[in-house]
Chain A
Amino acid sequence: MKRGLAGYVAVAACAVFFALLPFTLSDYHRGIAAQVALYLIAILGLNVLVGYTGQISIGHSAFMAIGGYTTALMSHYHHTNLVATLPLAFAITFVCGVLLGLPALRLSGVYLALATFALAVSVPQLPLKFSKFTGGSAGISANRIVGNTWLYEVAWSAAAVAFVFTWLLLRGRIGRAFRAVRDSEVAATSSGVTLAIYKTLAFGVSAALAGVAGSLFVLATNGFAQPNEFSVTLSLKILIGAAVAGLGSLWGVVIGAAFIALLPTISASAPLIGSTHGQDVVFGAFVILVMLLLPNGVAGLLLRLSRLRARA
């Protein structure tokens, strides 16, 4: 009962904090805070796959590209309401994720990593191939540019929905099945978990969240989608965010998202290191530090703290 209460308080504190935050931020910082929300959604998605189901993916930039292009193309050609493109991106990338989950059934470990890497490399080539429709390397724009306040509201609302959705999904039977698959496929199968269904489902959900994050990513870049934005480094960024957050836990995700969204911006304006090289060095150094000091990420730290308190 006590643990449950702490959970309520944490959720309430988060909700109030993010609802009141825009009052204290400048327009520019509202834009950056919106970036945190979109990375939060992407990391949530990756966490479902990597943290809870034990499957690796470095192909999530590809799903973000599919989601992002969904938003840009629908808005450009059909003037679709931008908010309406988010569930559309969710649906389309869900299907793509399930499709990728099928070959992933036969792959694991480094082979699965390579297969998803191939996806990350090949998907950004598609807009170049179909450049008449997608604008090719010149990119394509949504028919409207959104302001930072709009972006903040939509991104954090989407993040809240995604968080609750993921939480509800993982706390019940499906989450248990995911964890069983992660811990031992043989044991899971013998307890009646159908591997094929749960693995592809995990891929689908994970990809769908990445797709929504991709839509928001494009909206945050002035509605402009271009192949270079979705390089494999974006995948790695999300993976790093997930590692910082701590795999297999939802609470660290906010910190992980803040880490990848804010650190480059903060270090860019720091004295002495205010260059791209400097930013990369600081980012890398922090990743190494986090891995050394918090091998299980922020989630691991939270767990250790709560154990300490229980002992005291």
Chain B
Amino acid sequence: MGRKGRFVAALAALALVASVAASAAFGARAHRLDPGVTSTTIKIGGTFPLTGVASLYKVIPAAESAYFAYINAHGGVNGRKIDFTVLDDAYDPSKTVPLTQQLVEQDGIFADFGSLGTAPNLSIWGYLNQHKVPQVLIATGDSYWGFSAKKYPWTIGYQPDYPGEGKVYGKYIAANTPNAKIGVLYQNDAFGKNYFAGLRVGLGAKKGQIVASQSYDPTQTSLVQQILALKSAGADTLVIFALPSQAITAMVTATKVGWSPQIFLGNVSANPIFLQIAAQNGANVNGVISTGYLIDALNASQANLPGIKLMKSIISTYAPSLVPSMNGGDANVPYGLGAAWTFVYALQHAGKTPTRAGLMNALKSMHNVKDPFLYPGITLNTSAKDNFPTEQEILTKWSGGATGDFTAFGKLYNGVR
């Protein structure tokens, strides 16, 4: 190392020491109100896939914004208006992280509300809990959120979880078609595997009836090989735990290869708009069984429910661009409204001047709370030991082909988790 080299090295060392010293100068400031709360507003935010592979879900934050606009127009919560910031992470955790830091550190949100996707939420899970920022009513059905409440007390989900739903199908098959020969198609990741694990638990002693299982990777577009393998294994029942585009492909492919098994379809892909697309592409979707927990705008028998009426009035006033989605039966609309309803409910029970701790406490002490956007009879229940808000589902069956809808049948399943 020459003279010049030593000089550069010395400068680098100097820079290092100076920046270490710099850090000591910064300290925390005390707040009288919790971050994000003023006398007139409550600032919240979330990350959603407004663009990219999962952008079909962008309807959810739009419906949530509509519900908050409706609440604000009616005086807000204890005189405070809700200011909801929606940021686009394109379902990419490496974008979720800086955007969430921006929400917490730059915008100073009170809570991260409704952020969508398992991997995006996992990437900010530790961070939000370390900063004691509520990560609430997040749009993912994995069971981590429910089972890890002790280690991550600032996180709570909303919808029924995937393994629990898998169990429902297992129980139904074991009780009604115990001799079914079951073929399973699942996504090769935590989401698909957790669903599959739930199915096996639900089948109990009948899990030997699974004659074949096939997985696919999230980027795969053709499922011919998997469908043919399941068909040739002699399966007469097909259980699909897939994201929407692959679920549609699977149902279309099964019909095209001349196979008509009884299909069970995981709830994430059982939005009516997806089955209509599958039917338009030649799939025989009549008789497909899934589960539901939300109200359904397409279903004539629900037309008089207060939740349906409220949904129609809110969407047509505050988010007219969502009217076609709502009338097409898009389940993302009642989903968004329901999550936003639950948030407002919790805020109302978080004290006159809401605190973060008060919000979590309200969300973890719900007893038979009637969210109007949930299927009649389903209520929200949580406790210090129970971090799963929605634990009831109803089985549904599709009829009417390309212009059809799901109709509920049987009794409500309780204890879904």
Contacts and interface: CB of A to CB of B under 8 A. Distances in A.
Given A27-B105, A128-B217, A265-B98, A138 B15 contact: no
Contacts of B16: 19, 153, 156-157, 160
A20 B217 CA distance: 48
Contact of A221 (B8, B93, B188): B93
A228 B119 contact: yes
Contacts of A131: 189-190
Contact of B126 (A136, A223, A277): A223
Residue of A156, A220, A229 ringed by the most chain B CB atoms within 10 A: A229
Interface in A141-155: 141, 145, 148-150, 152-153
B189 A221 contact: no
B97 A138 contact: no
Interface in A218-263: 220-224, 226, 228-229
B14 A228 contact: no
Interface string B271-300: 000000000000000000000000000000
* Highest count of chain A CB atoms <10 Å: which of B5, B94, B105, B217: B94
Contacts of B123: 139, 221-222, 224, 226
A81 interface: no
A217 B119 CA distance: 17
A222 B102 contact: no
Interface string A1-15: 000100110011001
B119 A19 contact: no
A128 B188 contact: yes
A145 B130 contact: yes
A229 B126 contact: no
A168 B12 contact: no
A262 to B, nearest CB: 12
Contact of B92 (A11, A128, A136, A229): A229
A276 interface: yes
Interface string B186-202: 00111100000000000
Interface residues of A, number: 52
Nearest to B189: A137
B23 A150 contact: yes
A224 B51 contact: no
B88 A18 contact: no
B173 to A, nearest CB: 27
B26 A149 contact: yes
Interface centre among B1, B4, B51, B217 (most CB of A within 10 A): B4
Contacts of A110: none
Contacts of A228: 92-94, 119
B11 interface: yes
Interface string B126-138: 1100100000000
A1 to B, nearest CB: 11
A140 B20 CA distance: 29
B242 interface: no
Contacts of A229: 92-94
Identify the interface centre among A18, A163, A217: most chain B CB within 10 Å of its CB: A18
B310 interface: no
B27 to A, nearest CB: 11
Nearest to B217: A128
A153 B126 contact: no
Interface string B24-61: 01100000000000000000000000111000000000
B45 to A, nearest CB: 14
Q: Which of B105, B123, B218 neighbours the largest number of chain A CB atoms within 10 Å of its CB?
A: B123
Nearest to A125: B217
B19 interface: yes
A265 B11 CA distance: 30
Given A131-B189, A136-B189, A276 B90 contact: yes
Nearest to A163: B12
Contacts of A194: none
B8 A19 contact: no
Among B1, B90, B93, B118, which residue has the most Cβ atoms of chain A within 10 A? B93
A157 B105 CA distance: 24
A23 interface: yes
B245 to A, nearest CB: 16
A31 interface: yes
A22 B19 CA distance: 7
Interface string B72-105: 0000000000000000101011100110011001
A7 B2 CA distance: 14
Given A131-B189, A145-B126, A228-B119, A23 B25 contact: yes
A18 B19 contact: yes
B262 to A, nearest CB: 29
Contact of B105 (A7, A28, A220, A226): A28
Contacts of B19: 18-19, 22, 152-153, 156-157
Interface in B134-175: 142
Given A164-B8, A222-B97, A222-B124, A137 B190 contact: yes
Contact of A15 (B1, B4, B14, B25): B14
Given A22-B19, A222-B124, A4 B190 contact: no
B304 interface: no
Contact of B119 (A4, A18, A128, A138): A138
B18 interface: yes
B22 A15 contact: no
A145 B218 CA distance: 29
A235 to B, nearest CB: 13
B115 to A, nearest CB: 14
A137 B192 CA distance: 11
A167 interface: yes
A31 B11 contact: no
B218 A137 contact: yes
Most buried by B among A150, A221, A265: A221
B148 to A, nearest CB: 12
28 contacts: A11-B11, A15-B12, A19-B15, A19-B17, A22-B19, A23-B22, A27-B26, A28-B102, A28-B105, A31-B101, A131-B189, A137-B190, A138-B118, A138-B119, A141-B125, A148-B105, A160-B12, A164-B12, A221-B97, A222-B126, A226-B119, A228-B92, A228-B93, A228-B119, A229-B92, A229-B94, A276-B52, A276-B90
User: Which 7 pairs from chain A and chain B are nearest by CB?
Assistant: A19-B18, A28-B105, A137-B189, A229-B94, A160-B12, A138-B190, A15-B15
Given A137-B190, A276-B51, 5 more contacts: A137-B218, A138-B142, A145-B126, A152-B19, A229-B94
